[in-house]
Structure formats: structure tokens, C-alpha cells
Structure 1
Amino acid sequence: MTLAAQSSQQRFKLLRQALLLATPPAVTDVGCPETTTERTLTRRGVLWLGQTCNLRCSFCYFADMVATASHPEHSFMSLEKAKAICRTLVDFYGNTALDLQGGEPTIYPGILELVAFCRDIGLAPTLITNGLLLDDQELCLRYRDAGVNDFLVSVQGLGEVHDRLVGVTGAHRRQMTALRNLRELAIPFRFNCVMSGPALSQLPDIALLARETGARVVNFITFNPFADQGRNGRRTSDNVPSYSEVKPLLQSALEILETAGIEVNVRYFPFCMVEERYRHHVYNFQQLSYDHCEWDFASWGWTGLKPQRTRDGQPSPPVALNASPGLTRAKEIFKKLAEARLLKPLLYSGYRIVSRVLASSCANPAELYRRVAKIHADIHCEYRYGEACQTCNLMTICDGFHGDYAEIFGMDEAEPVHSAGRVDDPTYYISRQAKVL
């Protein structure tokens, strides 16, 4: 038997085992979700309850915080503080949905009461979870009774690959049991999957798993160094695949999900790295605000501040997006660097962007959100445009290549798009996608 045949046989075996664990012989029909092609700004918020977790994922955004009990963001906040933040998300920011996450929100002591509270005040609650505790069907039933809207389950691979990536033996098996429970109880769920090197060959199989278990949405997330990911040599060419390596396997997964009528999104991936017919699935920072399952930049900017992410202290006063203290502080820093003649071109560009955001009104919120998206990409994440990008017709709606990625692989993979004229509308591709309401 050839090596390729052995590999294919092993993949089939892993998928078959996963499906036996995850798919009950008779299931309750969860129905087909409604979809829309209308693109409006998201009204979903996010709340970090504390970076306490029962896994140790190698690519976790908050790996250092999770591992360090003394870190101010490690411990869970009180239920009263969490409720106060949720109330602000409704009353000040007008949010109508909320992602609850930790660390791991299912181990938060007051999670069921918090879910019920969110539902009562008009915040449809989602839990972003690894699913380990959901292997208990009675607990799943309690979530359903409390009013959970859905679960966003982090499926990072199949079998031993998943277990190795999350640092716990048996995690995959428990997660598959959790999917079975959710399906039997007609509780909607979606998948998140980080496209790390070890899981890359399994992307099509994760798509098949989503199809067979009834996942409503699948999000493939580029392995980018947000928060703690870039520290301590955590990202190398051994675990970060190149865009060219990702492309064929990702497109195979996209084809499977498209054919099955399942919404699929690709986060933080250059448009040119997928074929034209798949670009309506790509969401970079400028597109995120038009995905109702992504976070509203206004409230995200507030809940991302330290007082809203720590156990101790009270929440800080809410601020409007164009009056964010973080933006004001950024402008002050850029100004001082300019006066000291230490400003690099990238920082100068950021200073101009921040200045324009602070000077703008909310008369055109879409434009304001777009400017904030550029701050996230250009300043916080240091995305870059390569030489080939300069002639690409999609440059103004694409983030380009993450700076950290460019350091590892360079930017020679960029393939400028010259069709259809210059594109300036960030919804140009995603407006063709049918998204779950």
C-alpha cells in the first residue's frame, strides 16, 4: 500500500470514528436556518469572563494568561460584574447578541444564571466553548432551558491531532459526544477551526463532520499572532502553514460546505490566496463588521479594556467608538513620536488614521467602522502589502499579509487581482454570501 493510500485510509478511519461518536442514530430535526444576503453592521458584543480554562491549546490567543494564575485577567469575574457589563452592552451600545467566552465559559460558576440573564435583557447568548463539559446531556438540557442561543464549538482537528493541539488526551472523544448531545436536544451549534499546520490535512474532514452532524456555520481562522500567540517562539514554520499550503485543502473544505448549503467563513486570509469563486467567504477586518456573528467594534473596544476583563474592580464608563480612550491615547503616542522624529511610515499612517477616526462623527457609521478596521489591521496587527499588492485591484478592501507571517514566509505568494476594475466596497464579495440569521 502506498503512503498516500495509507494516509487516505487513516483519514477515513478518523472521520468514521468521529461520526460514530457525534451522530446519534435518530436525531431531532433542528430545521434549516433562515439566511440573508443583506449586509448590515453587526450588533453582537463579546464578554471575556476570565482567562481560566480546562485546556492548554498551543495556539490560544491568551495562552500566557491562562497559564499564569497571578495574571490580572486570569481569574473569573463575579456574576454581578458580568451582569453589569451585559446591561451596558444593551443600554449603551444597543447590542442584541453576545459571545460569552473565557478561557472556557462552561466552567464559569454562574454561567447558567448569566445565560438566562442575557436572554431576559435581549442579548441572545452564545458560548464559545471547547465542548468538554457538554458531554453531559443533562447539562446541555439545562443550557437549553436557560435560553442559550447556540454554541460555537472549537473543533481544532480530529482524533489525536485535536488532543495534541489542545493539550488534553480524550478531548476529541468528549467533544464528539457533546455534538451528539446538542444534536439530540436540537440546540444549534457552529464550528470554529484554527488552520494550524498539524490540522491542515483534516480541513476537508472537518467540513464533512460539520455536514453530517448539522453544524450551521463553520469558521476557518488563519493562525495569526493575536494577543499571546506571537510570544515565546510559539509561532514557527513548523506549526504555521503557508497560505499556499492552506489553499488547496481550504478550497476542498469550502466546496464540501458550499455543496451542503452550510455557511462558511474564512477569517484573516488574503483575497488573492483563494480562487475568485470562493472569495465571498473571506472576512478580513473591513468585512468583519458585516458578519452578525462577529463583534461590534464599538462595544468590543470597550469590553476589551482592562476593567472589563479583570476579576477585580468595577466596569469603566462606556465610550462611543469615535471617543474611545484607546484611540485618544494612540493619537497622543503617535504625536510624541512624530515630534521626536521617530515616526516610521507605518506609524505615521496609523497616526493619520486615528486622527481621522477621532475627527469623524457617527453620521456615517459604516465609514467609521471601516476606519477602525484599518487601525486593527495596520497598527495592532502590522499587516503589510507586498510589491505585488500595489497593483492589485483588491488592495483597498484587503488587509494584505500579517507582518508576523511576512517575517516567516515573505510575501512572494501574493498574486495581484486585475479583473473587474478597482474595488473599494468592502462588501463587494461578501454581499453574495447567504448568511444565517
Structure 2
Amino acid sequence: MTTTPLPPVWSTQRQPTRRGVLWLGLRCDVRCKFCYDELVSSREKAWMPVGEATAALDKFRHFYGNEFVDFMGGEPTLHPQALDIVAHAARIGLRPTVITHGMHLAALDRARAYVEAGIHDFLVSIHGIGDTVAEIHGRGRDNFARQMAALDNLNTLGVPFRFNVTMIRDNLTELEAIADLAGEKGARVVNFLTFNPYFEWTAQPEIEFQARHSDIAPYLARAIDRCTAHGVEANVRYMPPCQLPGREAHVYTGYQLPYDPHEWDYNSWYDAGHEGPPSPQWYGEASQRQQQRHHYVHVPACGGCALQPVCDGFQAQYVARWGGDEAVPYAGPPITDPTHFIQGQRKLSYQQADPAGDGTAEPAAAKTHVGTHLPVGDDGRAGVKRVRATAP
């Protein structure tokens, strides 16, 4: 099946996201040096069976009320039944996105198969330009050229795409070039992701490629401005807003993420069990839990900051390594609205997805489905359903 594209809408309205996320498995054919999953044993990386995936998608759509879903990996395009899973999401009215390095879409027929399955868009990991990509990936040949061929194929097929870039020492000087590439190729959004030492990285005090916020900021500020000049939405993930003065509208800590339509609904992400869209108060409490889950802390300077109630602060490993001298508190009374800055950003959104799908799923039965993810607290990697059987 194919899915009728949703017209893009630029808006400053901020509503809670209706996007779910499902990890299809942690297997990948590159070894990005910053990957959270590189230290996970291979037996933990098997693919999610298609039946479990479709059950989770039904729950996202009919219990949690999600309208979009991101498929995560590993590299989801390697899942042997990825197209079937994408097609099921599209069929029930859950617009599917695949988060991918993109290289397997360099084959036009493979890219076209996702169109026929009903893909909504792709989120492509572009972590550098030219040889930098190979250095970061650690595996593969002609990686950047294959990524560019994939983007050209998506343009040929009329499939929207966005960029993710994880900011590390290796690529800081290329952030502006990535912004220009987004404009040249027609990416709608660029997400600039701060490397966060989650999961297995937490115990490593000295991470060679990790960069300080103050080292990133000058390059990042110029890249944001380049995106704006190209008409590309630019977002910064998990960097305190005080690190980008004058560009705070682009900055999303865990408190702002629920109000980005391209980010994940804490309710379905953690299978929290609240039927339908929760209230803003619920999302505020969920943001606090996310802050604690990933070990963000406020440094002493944050104590006098007006933004403290709606800012994660700094990751604990980061503070242990570099301290908190970079923090610059905002003056004034406490700010409790997480959209205080981000409501000033024009963001890409879409008209509401069709609610019905094709009628093949039964909403009443969806309430009885098993949980979509591991319970919160299972080795800290909440949100990833690990399948311990042998992968096909």
C-alpha cells in the first residue's frame, strides 16, 4: 500500500507529541564510535518478531492514541520483515518513520519498496561529510557516497527526510556543512544531538570523542543560522539552553521534548499505561522522571536560574569530568512553562493523521496487549524491548 502524504504545516503552536517509538532490534552493520549499543552483547541484539511488533503498534494507535511511530535500531532496514512492520503501521493509521543510516536506500528498488509499504518519512543519520563519515562509522566502504545516493533516491520518489547528527569532536567543524547539505538535498529538519553518556558509557569518566558544550556552541550556533537561512528546521537535543544564548528557541531538554511533534511520547515510549493523551501536568512529571532516569543534575549555578524548573541541567558524567562552570543562570522569577522559549520557533508539523486506518484492527482488543517495552529500570535501558531468542 502507499500512504497519502500529509501536507507540511509550519506552526508555533505547541501540543504534546503523538509519536511513538519502537526498537526493532539492536543489530547494525556499522560501528559508530559513540553508539550506546556497541557495548551490548550480540545475544541481546536479536530482532523483534513481527507479531510482537504489530501488537505493540496496535497498542500505540488504539490505546495510547499515537498517530506517528519511529522505528529504531540498530539499523531497522536490516530487519528481515521491516517492510511488513512498516506496512502494518501505515495500514492502521500510524504514520511510520524509519531511523536509519540510509545506506541501504542507495538501491532505488529498496527505497521504492518502503514507499509501497506506506512510509511517511525517513530520519537519516548524517554525522559528517566525506571521509569523516567512514571514520565515525568504523565499518563500510563508500559510506558517504551511498548516503548521498539514498537521499537522491528519496527525492526522486518524493519521500520526505530529516537529518540526525550526533555532535562529537570529530565533526564540530562540519556542522555548518551538514546544515548546507540539508538545504541542498531538501531535508526538512536537522536534529543536532548532544552525545550523552547513557547506559554502558556512564561508567567511563574519560570518553575521547566527547566534546564540551562550550567547544560545540560556536560551531552549532552558526549551523543553526545556516539551517534557518535554508528554511530548514534546526533542533538541539539535551544541551542546557544557557549554552546557546539568543538561540534558545531551538533547544530541547527532556522537558521540552514532549512538545516536539518529531519526538517521542513518554506515555507510549515507556508503556506508562495512561489511555489516550495525558495532561500537560502528566508530561511535566514524566519529564522529571526522564531527568532522573538519565542522571541529569543541576550544578550550583543552576540554583539561581529562572529556567531550572524546566531544564534538565547537565549529565552527571559530564559534571564529574568538566564541572559546572559553563552554566549561566537566567535572571528573574521561576519559569514553569516548558515551552517558554520553544514557542518562538516555527516548527514543521502536519495536518492530523487519518484516525481510522483500514479498519482491520480492533481498538477494544488493543487494551489487552502485553507491554510494548521492558519495564522502567531494567538495566537502565527503558524503552528498548530486547528479544533474547536467536535472531534469524
TM-score, normalization: structure 1? 0.76
Give the one of 340, 344, 349 matched to 1:432.
344
Amino acid in the other structure paired with 1:98: V
Does residue 111 (structure 1) correspond to residue 82 (structure 2)? The answer is yes
Does residue 165 (structure 1) correspond to residue 119 (structure 2)? The answer is no
Amino acid in the other structure paired with 1:218: V
Change (3 A) 1:41 1:403: same
In structure 2, C-alpha distance between the alignment counterparts of 1:85 and 1:363, rounded to whole Å:
17
Change (3 A) 1:426 1:180: same
8 A Cα contact 2:13 2:343, kept in partner = yes
Q: Which deviations, in whole Å up to 9, do the C-alpha atoms of 1:297-327 show, x marking residues without a partner?
A: 111012xxxxxxxxxxxxxxxx5249xxxxx
Does residue 373 (structure 1) correspond to residue 287 (structure 2)? The answer is yes
Change (3 A) 1:363 1:107: closer
SS at match of 1:53: coil
Superposed counterparts of 1:18-417, under 5 Å: 33-65=8-40, 68-71=41-44, 74-168=45-139, 169-231=141-203, 233=204, 236=206, 238-276=208-246, 278-302=247-271, 319-321=272-274, 365-377=279-291, 379-417=292-330
Count of residues in correspondence between the two structures: 344
Q: Which deviations, in whole Å up to 9, do the C-alpha atoms of 1:28-76 show, x marking residues without a partner?
A: xx998321111111111011111111111111122223xx2222xx100
Whose helix proportion is higher, 1 or 2? 1
Q: List runs of 5+ in structure 1 lacking aligned partners.
A: 1-29, 303-318, 323-361
8 A Cα contact 2:296 2:316, kept in partner = yes
SS at match of 2:256: helix
Amino acid in the other structure paired with 2:309: T
In structure 1, C-alpha distance between the alignment counterparts of 2:6 and 2:265, rounded to whole Å:
28
In structure 2, C-alpha distance between the alignment counterparts of 1:76 and 1:190, rounded to whole Å:
25
8 A Cα contact 1:237 1:408, kept in partner = no
8 A Cα contact 1:86 1:118, kept in partner = yes
RMSD over aligned CA atoms reads 1.9
Deviation at 1:238, TM superposition (A): 2.9
Q: Which deviations, in whole Å up to 9, do the C-alpha atoms of 1:317-376 show, x marking residues without a partner?
A: xx5249xxxxxxxxxxxxxxxxxxxxxxxxxxxxxxxxxxxxxxx997111111111111
8 A Cα contact 1:297 1:321, kept in partner = no
Amino acid in the other structure paired with 1:220: F
SS at match of 1:286: coil
Q: Which deviations, in whole Å up to 9, do the C-alpha atoms of 1:219-275 show, x marking residues without a partner?
A: 0010001233335x4x73531111110110000000001122211110000111001
In structure 1, C-alpha distance between the alignment counterparts of 2:186 and 2:31, rounded to whole Å:
27
8 A Cα contact 2:64 2:277, kept in partner = no
In structure 1, C-alpha distance between the alignment counterparts of 2:24 and 2:301, rounded to whole Å:
42
Amino acid in the other structure paired with 2:226: I
Amino acid in the other structure paired with 1:103: G
Change (3 A) 1:236 1:79: same
Change (3 A) 1:363 1:199: closer
8 A Cα contact 1:62 1:229, kept in partner = no
Match of 2:361 in 1: none
Deviation at 1:133, TM superposition (A): 0.3
Amino acid in the other structure paired with 2:165: C
Question: Identity percentage over the alignment?
Answer: 39
Look at both structures and tell me which one has the larger radius of gyration over its CA atoms: 1
Deviation at 1:83, TM superposition (A): 0.8
8 A Cα contact 1:33 1:216, kept in partner = no
In structure 2, C-alpha distance between the alignment counterparts of 1:111 and 1:396, rounded to whole Å:
40
SS at match of 1:191: strand
Amino acid in the other structure paired with 1:99: D
Amino acid in the other structure paired with 1:33: P
In structure 2, C-alpha distance between the alignment counterparts of 1:120 and 1:132, rounded to whole Å:
26
In structure 2, C-alpha distance between the alignment counterparts of 1:395 and 1:255, rounded to whole Å:
26
SS at match of 2:163: strand
8 A Cα contact 2:180 2:230, kept in partner = no
Q: Which deviations, in whole Å up to 9, do the C-alpha atoms of 1:65-121 show, x marking residues without a partner?
A: 3xx2222xx100211111111111112111110001121110111111211111110
Between 1 and 2, higher relative CO (CA 8 Å, sep ≥ 6) is seen in: 2
8 A Cα contact 1:119 1:147, kept in partner = yes
SS at match of 1:58: coil
SS at match of 2:112: helix
